[in-house]
Structure 1
Amino acid sequence: MQIDHHARLSVAPMMDWTDRNCRAFHRVLSRKTLLYTEMVVSAALVRGGARHLLTFDAAEHPVALQLGGSDPAELAEAARIGAGEGYDEINLNCGCPSDRVQSGTFGAVLMKDPQRVADCLAAMQAAAGPVEVTVKCRIGVDDQDPARVLPDFLTHVRDAGIRRVSVHARKAWLQGLSPKENRDVPPLDYDLVIEMLRAFPDLHLSVNGGIGTLDEAAAFLDRGLHGVMVGRAAYQRPADILLEADRRVFGAANPCADAVEAAQAMRPHIARHLEGGGRLDQVTRHMLGLFAGRPGARLWRRLLSEGAHRPGAGLDVYDDALAAVTQALETETQPGDEAMGEGSTAGGVPSRPVPTS
């Protein structure tokens, strides 16, 4: 598999969001985009035996496993396990600013210890065999000077044998800002990431952070970035980001013509999930933004938000919601529909909190 090609566009790992049902949905929209798991803590795999966290469907390929940790031996074993499960890439999280991650001395705090990161990466590569190991990082943390810190960090990871890095183009403030604020308050510095292309011509660099449209993603590719990683926008407005991605980014045919066809294509996955004892809302919670900005979007969100969580909710609830939004699209009799964004509501149901990426 030419993973570099798929990394031209990727959906960021987001805690509590990019689970296997989310990835199944995103794969319906785009066959080519690289998908990431939520961060899986290495200790949970190695010491906790939580192999269930690695379950995925073959249809999700290309799919990458993101690991969190800071112990080289433990990360190596976790990488070995992940490679054995069939993931196309193993990624080390050096960008998450949450308190929980800091307390484990991993995530963005690792920007302060590039040698430890290099040791972890070397051990992971030795254990992962042919499966590529990559890094997702910030441009710096706290009072660090990104213009000095990022080149030093990239030098360490390159010298450890890493050739592909995704850079969230914001600093992370580990003290004083919440994880949510860390996604919005520190200013973006895309130009610094662009500069790293010239400083490290042997690295495959993807940019992440604040990218809200497919046009913006294409513009970064036009500027020379090897890849673009999209987070919240791909989750909140998935059709806007992914529905045209295969054609525009990869030069391939789009798998679905429109959002309705994508919703229909998800029906077999939902049926299998329900037959396996799963709940309807475990899938549909990831699909609330499918029709964002289109007629019937609010109706779709309301019907699924109110109906999918009820005990015994089945495909009839999903089919009724899809029939309602299809009619609204055909007649365009739903004025006032709007894209789902932070703080929006769906028929009185608050939108879910913004994910961590």
Structure 2
Amino acid sequence: MTENKKKTLDYTDPGLRPRFAVAPMMDWTDRHCRVFHRQLSHRALLYTEMVTSGAVIHGDRERLLGFDEAEHPVACQLGGSDPKDMAASARIVEDFGYDEVNINVGCPSDRVQSGSFGACLMQDPDLVASCVSAMKAEVSIPVTVKCRIGVDEQDPEVALDAMADKVFAAGADALWVHARKAWLQGLSPKENRDIPPLDYDRVVRLKKRYPDAFIGLNGGLQDLDHAERFLECVDGLMLGRAAYHTPQIMTGVDRRLYGAGGDDVSPWKAVEAYLPYIERKLAGGVRLAHMTRHMLGLFHGRPGARSWRRILTVEAIRPGAGIEVVTKALSAVSPQDDYETGPDLKSGHAA
């Protein structure tokens, strides 16, 4: 880890604990997405897509792990189950400058299962604990776990307690819990995001059992109004698809969840703040659509939102598309004064 690096995340410090995080999402929370999300909230904890320990050790590390300094606080989620490899990967992650390394114990995909990691690790809390212990011995940044409440026929009362007992005993700094089971047989990864019923009360009971440990809640949280009420019961809130599809949700995070003064972030100002990054990456050969695809839902439900999406979707993919596409799309959205007098934004997307 870089010496004298300013600490932006600390689960033991109330001032640096994450009250809000954007969930790791494959194909979505890439480095461009995270820089865009950072314009909407200065304090939210941002997660990478899951990257496997094998890829970190043997692959193109800059392509897999490279990130912009603006992203802090940013966490890297690892997929793997070999304690030695996970420890080596965690060291590499720390050396890259990440603020946290997280173990994936929630993904139900067939590919992840075939590698013996992800949600299937709910069945082996001792192995997860061994990974935590090995990683803690190698790094000084927080080591956290993101899990389900159980898989298949497991009793969530037993399975989640067993996972928490083991990983906290091994030194885990936090446990983020997706409040639904994963069905490894019979449901696709997409179905696993919606079909198994949510059980927020199960996570609340876990927090009561561990009053001094960090327990974060994930799963089905639709917007800040929906999520914020759980802060009386848990330590942190993690939104996934809702934050991605309707990113304006994040504009109120700093004020509402961190007590920051001033107005909420303006989505117009957020786009303007993102433009220098886009220009820099365009100059480096990145295609515009790779960056603008994360912005499509920013003005969801507002006058001009359809034009905003259409311009970015159609014109950003054209060869040589440049920053003028974004400014054109932004000019198609109604002026901010009209926007601010419109109806309250509500998202119908579940995380």
Cross-structure match for 1:350: none
Structure 1 counterpart of 2:131: 120
In the alignment, what sits opposite 2:152? Answer: 142
Which sits farther off after the overlay, 193-202 or 131-140? Answer: 193-202
In 2, Cα distance between the equivalents of 1:16 and 1:257?
26
Local SS of the residue matching 1:246: helix
Confirm or deny: 8 A CA contact 1:244 1:254 kept in the other structure.
no
Matched, 1:236 2:245: yes
Match of 1:266 in 2: 274
Does residue 201 (structure 1) correspond to residue 211 (structure 2)? The answer is yes
Q: Quote how far apart the aligned CAs of 1:316 are.
A: 1.1
**SS of the residue 1:195 aligns to:** helix
Measured against aligned partners, the alpha-carbon deviations of 1:270-322 in whole angstroms (never above 9, x if no partner) come to 11110111111011000000101111111100110000011100011111111
2:202 is aligned to 192
Task: Name the % identity.
Answer: 55
Structure 1 residues 299 and 326: alpha-carbon distance in aligned structure 2, compared to 1, 3 A threshold: same
Q: Is the 8 A contact 2:254 2:264 kept in 1?
A: no
Structure 2 distance, partners of 1:273, 1:303, is 20
Q: How does 1:144-293 map to 2 (within 5 A)?
A: 144-221=154-231, 223-239=232-248, 241-253=249-261, 257-293=265-301
Could you say which residue in structure 1 is the equivalent of 2:82? 71
Alpha-carbon separation, structure 1, partners of 2:40 and 2:107? 27
Q: Within 2, Cα distance between the matches of 1:72 and 1:162?
A: 14
The alpha carbon displacement at 1:340 in A equals 8.1
Distance apart, 1:339 and its partner CA: 7.8
The total of aligned residue pairs comes to 336
1:50-70 Cα distance to aligned partner (Å, 9 max, x none): 342110111100000100001
SS at match of 2:176: strand
Give the structure-2-normalised TM-score. Answer: 0.91
- 2:30 is the counterpart of 1:19: yes
Gaps spanning 5+ residues in structure 2: where? 1-6
CA RMSD of aligned residues (A): 1.9
Cα 1:173/1:303, change in 2 over 3 Å: same
For residue 65 of structure 1, give the secondary structure of its aligned residue in structure 2.
strand
Paired residue type of 1:3: D
Cα distance in 2 between the residues matched to 1:320 and 1:99: 42
Deviation of 1:268 after TM superposition, in Å, equals: 0.7
Q: Which runs of 5+ in 1 are unaligned?
A: 343-353
More displaced, 75-84 or 314-323? 314-323
Match of 1:132 in 2: 142
SS at structure 2 position matched to 1:15? coil
Deviation by residue 1:96-149 (Cα, 9 ceiling, x = unmatched) = 011111110000000001111111111111111x11100000000001000111
Residue equivalent to 2:4: none
**Match for 2:238: what amino acid?**
M
**Residue of structure 2 in register with 1:100 after alignment:** 111
Question: Any idea what SS the aligned residue of 2:333 has?
Answer: helix
Contact 1:245–1:254, Cα closer than 8 Å, also in 2 = no
1:45-89: per-residue Cα shift (whole Å, max 9, x none)?
112343421101111000001000011111110000000111000
Q: Aligned letter for 2:241?
A: R
Whether the 8 Å contact between 2:222 and 2:348 is mirrored in structure 1 is no
Q: CA deviation digits over 1:181-204, x for unaligned, max 9?
A: 000000001001000111112310
1:208-262 CA-to-partner distances (Å, cap 9, x unmatched) read: 00000101221010x22100000000000111x2101100000114686421121
Which residue in the other structure is 1:351 paired with? none
Quickly say closer, same or farther: Cα 1:276–1:87, change in 2 above 3 A.
same
Question: Which residue does 2:10 correspond to in 1?
Answer: 3
Check 1:27–1:6 CA distance in 2 against 1; reply closer, same or farther (3 A cut).
farther
> What secondary structure does 1:38 align onto?
coil
Shift of 1:157: 0.5
Q: 2:223·2:347 contact (CA, 8 Å) conserved in 1?
A: no
Q: Could you say if the C-alpha distance between residues 177 and 169 of structure 1 is closer, same or farther in structure 2, counting changes exceeding 3 Å?
A: same
TM-score, normalised to structure 1, is: 0.90
The verdict on how the C-alpha distance between 1:341 and 1:60 changes in structure 2, with shifts beyond 3 A counting, is same
CA contact (8 A) 2:119 2:147 kept: yes
Q: How many angstroms apart in 1 are the aligned matches of 2:263 and 2:88?
A: 37
